[in-house]
Structure 1
Amino acid sequence: MTLWNGVLPFYPQSRHAAGFSVPLLIVILVFLVLAASFLLILPGIRGNSRWFWLVRVLLSLFIGAETVALHFSAAWSVGRVSTNTSYKAFSTARVQAHIGLHVGLDGINITLTGTPVQQLNETIDYNEFFPWRFGENYAAKYAEALEKGLPDPILYLAEKFTPSSPCGLHRQYRLAGHYAKATLWMAFCLWVVSNVLLSMPAPVYGGLGLLLTGAFELFSVFAFATISNVPLCPLHLGSSALITHYGAAFWVTLATGILCLLLGGAVVSLHYARLSALRTFLDQSVKDYGSPAKGSSPLILKNPLHKQFGASDLTISTKL
């Protein structure tokens, strides 16, 4: 190992933290474009139904965007600590830094940010991703990090999640992430189906679709929560310990699942208790439900062919 422009041990340049997850940004932009497109046509909707459509569409887009975006979030389980720790292998130099661990469904992100950022004549600002999704080899990624000579705190945390680590974190987190992703994709498919059914004459089935969407959202939360079965593995960095807890993605998914259950339950309840209120909210016409509107009476028209062919009279519902 040799010096390279003053960076130890052989890093060609300092690593800088990634600003944002590109897939996550794409998902958010797509749903923002859909929301903006709807807001442009909103003034063309007349009457109070305009506000009913606003609530319906924005709520639906929020649920869909959240379900897709959280696949790419690294905030399912997070931990952060500030400590004074060793920096590089084969060096006694120590740095003061913030160290963060962000566990997602596809892998882990480990961040290292110096306080201040400029220490030891270099910029200490790292963000390293170690994947365990299908088709990725976590052990190979860790070996590559060793060859690059990443800072000690990053290698220490990454080593705890290797398949050979006695902590057993890799298998449990990897399986939890796979099951959570599968149930989230199922929730997204049911969200699409429920939107279609809510636009049909029988919205009760759309309400049932929302109930199933919420159920699968909660299944993903429960699947990821199985990481609590992993024995506590201490993560000591310098004189401090890093403790993880459920992150924003976990709680947002839980809240969205509960929201879907409430919305689905409301639709089903209104279908049987207050059909007219549900019909008003969904902005569906009376004829969609196959029943005459209030204020109408049946008008019997004589069929001129009745005497010749014995055909029955025709009954038509008309406005008084």
Structure 2
Amino acid sequence: MTAWDGVLPFYPQPRHAAGFSVPLIIVILVFLSLAASFLLILPGIRGHSRWFWLVRVLLSLFIGAEIVAVHFSGDWFVGGVWTNTSYKAFSTARVQAHVGLHVGLVGINITLRGTPVQQLNETIDYNERFTWRLDEDYTKEYVAALEKGLPDPVLYLAEKFTPSSPCGLYHQYHLAGHYAAATLWVAFCFWIISNALLSMPAPLYGGLALLITSAFTLFAVFAFASVSSVPLCQFRLGSAALTPHYGPSFWVTLATGILSLLLGGAVVTLHYTRPSALRSFLDQSIKDYSSQGTGNSPFILNNPLHKQFGAPDLSITTKL
């Protein structure tokens, strides 16, 4: 340790600031590209249906993007506090810093940023991630953090979520995140089905698929909210206490579930009460609905002979 002039090598590699995860940025860019592509072809749609298509596509892309993006977000349960806390083990030195806790579906992020950043001849700017995916071991990541020599506030919060911690946070958040992620993927599948059905002359089934999308999205929210029944350990960091709360991802997912519920309910209601208005909004013709209700194929309905002479008589008369 003398090579470090008495300073322990807590973090040999350069510090990195907190920010978006790479998968989250990729998801956002993909759906923004789809939205931009649709806006480019929007002028080619004539009449009032142009604005109907605009509302439909943008709402649908928002729902799909939100369902996928929250999987990679770490803002389901968040908290932060400004505090004067110890920085290193076996040292009385203290620093002024902001400590943040960000809990997602597959792990937690712990941030530590000094105010100012340069203190004790070091750059205090950390963003550490600890995951509990099925193929990863949280305990091993925590042991690696101990060997790396991360600052005390980071290790203190990470220890609260270990499986051996008396707080019991690991098992609750692990299970809640697992079931929430699984149900959100099911909701995404039904979102794809609802878009396919609403593009065909089957709006009723498209509305029902949208209702099922809403049901699974809301179930994911309730699954994650079940952790509120667990008494949360007090996070005491120096001179202040950190009190987490539900974050933006939780509330946006709840709003998306309610939006899907309202849209699906509106489609089903209009199908029975105002079918003409629903046809106008979905930009579907009467022929599509006629073929759905009478069982005639679109070829027969669009056939000029059918329009001039009526439907062909397919009955067969047998004379003995």
| Larger helix share, 1 or 2 | 2
Residue number in structure 1 paired with 2:298 = none
Q: Return the alpha-carbon distance in structure 2 between the equivalents of residues 305 and 39 of structure 1.
A: 47
Secondary structure in 2 matching 1:249: helix
What are the superposed Cα offsets for residues 200-233 of structure 1, whole Å, 9 maximum, x if unpaired?
Answer: 1121000000100011110000000011121231
Partners of 1:176 and 1:226 within 8 A in 2:
yes
Alpha-carbon distance in structure 1 between the residues aligned to 2:270 and 2:120:
66
Give yes or no for the alignment of 1:189 onto 2:197: no
2:74 counterpart SS class: coil
2: CA distance, partners of 1:254 / 1:94? 40
Q: Is the 8 A contact 1:7 1:13 kept in 2?
A: no
Q: Paired residue for 2:222?
A: 222
The residue number in structure 2 matching 1:198 is 198
Identity %: 76
**Paired residue for 2:33?**
33
* Equivalent-residue separation in structure 2 for 1:304 and 1:219 (angstroms): 52
Question: Cα gap change, 1:6/1:187 in structure 2, threshold over 3 Å: closer, same or farther?
Answer: farther
Return the offset for 1:305: 9.9
TM superposition shift of 1:286: 1.1
TM-score of the aligned structures, taking structure 1 as reference length: 0.90
Give yes or no for the alignment of 1:301 onto 2:309: yes
The answer for the alignment partner of 2:112 in structure 1 is 112
Q: Secondary structure at the match of 2:42?
A: helix
Q: Extract unaligned runs of 5+ from structure 1.
A: 312-320
Relative to structure 1, is the Cα distance of residues 6 and 214 closer, same or farther in structure 2, using a 3 angstrom cutoff? farther
Query: Structure 1 counterpart of 2:257, which letter?
Result: G
- Aligned partners of 2:28 and 2:69 also within 8 Å: yes
SS at match of 1:128: strand
1:242 alignment partner AA: L
Q: Which residues in structure 2 correspond to 1:155-304 (within 5 Å)?
A: 155-290=155-290, 301=309
Partner of 1:77: 77
Q: Distance in 1 between matches of 2:164 and 2:13?
A: 30
Amino acid in the other structure paired with 1:126: Y
Relative distance call for 1:270 and 1:110 in structure 2 (3 A) is: same
The verdict on how the C-alpha distance between 1:247 and 1:302 changes in structure 2, with shifts beyond 3 A counting, is closer
Deviation at residue 13 of structure 1 after TM alignment: 3.8
Q: Which runs of 5 or more structure 2 residues have no equivalent in the other structure?
A: 295-300
Work out the CA distance in 2 between the residues paired with 1:232 and 1:137: 22
Q: Is the 8 A contact 1:4 1:10 kept in 2?
A: no
Distance 1:85 1:190, change over 3 A: same
C-alpha root-mean-square deviation of aligned residues, in Å? 2.3
Aligned CA distance change for structure 1 residues 6 and 52 (closer, same or farther; 3 Å) = farther
In the TM superposition, residue 2 of structure 1 has moved relative to its aligned partner by: 4.9
Q: How far apart are the structure 2 equivalents of 1:112 and 1:2? A: 26
